[in-house]
Structure 1
Amino acid sequence: MANITKTDLVKNVAQKTEMSKKDVAIVLDGLTEEIMNEVAKKNKVQLIGFGTFEAHHRNARKGRNPQSGEEIEIPATEVPVFKAGKAFKESVKN
C-alpha cells in the first residue's frame, strides 16, 4: 500500500487529461479551497458518485487527560466529515 501525495495526484491527472501539471495544480487548489470554504459556511458539497463533504456538530463531552487521568471538559465543536458515494464505495469494495 502506497501513500499518494498531492504531487503524485497532480502528475497522474495531468497525464490522464493531457493538461499541464501547473494547470492541474491550479484546478486542484481551487477545488479544495472551494470545498473548505463551503463546508466552513455549513454548506454541503455533493459530488455525485464520489461523495459528500459537510460539517457536523460534535457536542461537548467529558474526557480524561491520558497522562494524569484527570477528567477534563472537551468543548463542543464543528468538524468536517466526508461520506463516500455509491460509486466510490463500489470501487473500493472491488
Structure 2
Amino acid sequence: MTKSELILRLAERNPHLYQRDVEKIVTTIFDEITDALARGDRVELRGFGAFSVKKRDARLGRNPRTGETVDVNQKFIPFFKTGKQLRERLNTD
C-alpha cells in the first residue's frame, strides 16, 4: 500500500472528512515520526510496533566489481520492531 492508497482508504472509511484533510493528517503523522527519528528519539505505537534508529559503525567494505577495499563511514539507519498484537495478527492460522 502506498501513501496515496492509505489516504484514499482512510477517506473512504471517514466520509465526514475531506480527502485533503486526511492527507494533511497522514503527512503530519509521518513528518512527526521522521522528525522524532532524526532527533534520535524512539516512536512507539502500542500494539503496532516501535520505530528507532540504529547506529552502524564504520567498517572496511569491498567493491564487488574490483575487489578493492573501501572505507564505509558510520551511518544511522531506521529500524522497526513489530508489536505483539501485530505479530499475533500476522501469524494466526
**Same fold flag (TM > 0.5):** yes
Superposed displacement of residue 89, structure 1: 1.2
Mind listing any 5+ residue stretches in structure 1 that lack a counterpart?
none
Aligned sequence identity (%): 33
What's the offset of the Cα at 1:48?
Answer: 0.4
Q: Give the root-mean-square deviation of aligned CA atoms.
A: 1.1
Aligned residue pair count: 91
String of CA shifts for 1:21-52, please: whole Å, max 9, x gaps: 21111001000000000111011111101111
Runs of 4+ that moved beyond 3 A = none
TM-score normalised to the size of structure 2? 0.90
Unaligned 5+ segments in structure 2 are none
Report the residue type matching 1:8 in the other structure. E
Q: What TM-score results when the alignment is normalised by the length of structure 1?
A: 0.89
Distance 1:75 1:7 in 2: 35
Provide the C-alpha distance between the structure 1 equivalents of 2:90 and 2:83, rounded to a whole number of angstroms: 11
1:1-94 aligned at under 5 Å gives the runs: 4-18=1-15, 19-94=17-92
> 1:71, 1:81 → 2: CA distance?
27
